Amino acid sequence: MSGENNRPDLKPGVANELRNRGLRVTPQRALILALIKSASGHITAENIYREVNRRLPFTDISTVYRTLDLLEAHGLVRRLVTGQGQTQYEWADQPHFHLICTGCSRVSNFVDEDLTAAIGQVAAEHGYRLTEFNVNVFGLCPDCQQEADHAHS
């Protein structure tokens, strides 16, 4: 299949990102990583699969899941499980934290240098050399709080 419609739209550096981690560049890996990199936030495996299958027909969903596991194991993507049990993926570019709504599964990213420093300090106080960490804060987003307040009024 050599039509233009079947070729992944590679963001600059996607192939290099894979090679730099010692991974073989395949059309599926390159496209999946490009989709995650270009996502405006978090993206589900199902949404990734739909777009991959549209561009590279006959790609099986198990290929998408195996590739996501591989990309996560090599530090290129992060997996996030929301309060509703939905799994989403994001580009592992910069450390950040998540606020996750238990009502609607909305995910908001935030950066807090004081919290990052505190986590590093706690790890050091317990003799750990910090390699990575995840902070997910669960609660109700403003929209769900408003809905809950109206339901109780």
pLDDT score of 104 = 87
Which tokens sit at 123? Answer: 């790890």
Domain end call among 92, 110, 144: 92
Provide the H-helix boundaries in 4-153: 14-20, 27-38, 45-55, 61-73, 113-125, 142-151
pLDDT tens-digit map of 113-132: 999 999 999 999 999 998 88
pLDDT tens-digit map of 5-34: 444 455 558 999 999 999 999 999 999 999
The residue that leads in pLDDT, 134 or 83, is 134
- For the ranges 12-16, 81-85, 109-113, 129-133, the maximum mean pLDDT occurs at 109-113
Average pLDDT over residues 31-57: 94
Examine the domain organization and report whether 56 and 108 are in the same domain. Answer: no
DSSP 7: S
pLDDT tens-digit map of 138-147: 999 999 999 8
Examine the domain organization and report whether 88 and 135 are in the same domain. Answer: no
Q: How many domains does the chain have?
A: 2
| DSSP letter string, 52-84 | HHHHSTT--HHHHHHHHHHHHHTTSEEEEE-TT
Could you list the residue range(s) of the whole structural domain that residue 82 is in? 1-92
pLDDT score of 4 = 39
CATH number (domain holding residue 51):
1.10.10.10
Tell me: pLDDT of 40 over 90: no
Tell me: pLDDT of 2 over 90: no
Examine the domain organization and report whether 78 and 100 are in the same domain. Answer: no
Examine the domain organization and report whether 83 and 99 are in the same domain. Answer: no
Domain end call among 92, 110, 133: 92
Tell me: pLDDT of 85 over 90: no
Examine the domain organization and report whether 39 and 81 are in the same domain. Answer: yes
Examine the domain organization and report whether 119 and 152 are in the same domain. Answer: yes
The model's pTM: 0.74
Examine the domain organization and report whether 29 and 88 are in the same domain. Answer: yes
Cα pseudo-dihedral 133, 140, 38, 47, rounded to 10: 110
CA 118 – CA 122 distance, rounded (Å): 6
Examine the domain organization and report whether 87 and 99 are in the same domain. Answer: no
Examine the domain organization and report whether 82 and 120 are in the same domain. Answer: no
Examine the domain organization and report whether 149 and 111 are in the same domain. Answer: yes
Which residues share a beta bridge with 137?
Answer: 99
Examine the domain organization and report whether 119 and 137 are in the same domain. Answer: yes
Q: What pairing do the DSSP bridges indicate for beta strands 97-101 and 107-110?
A: antiparallel
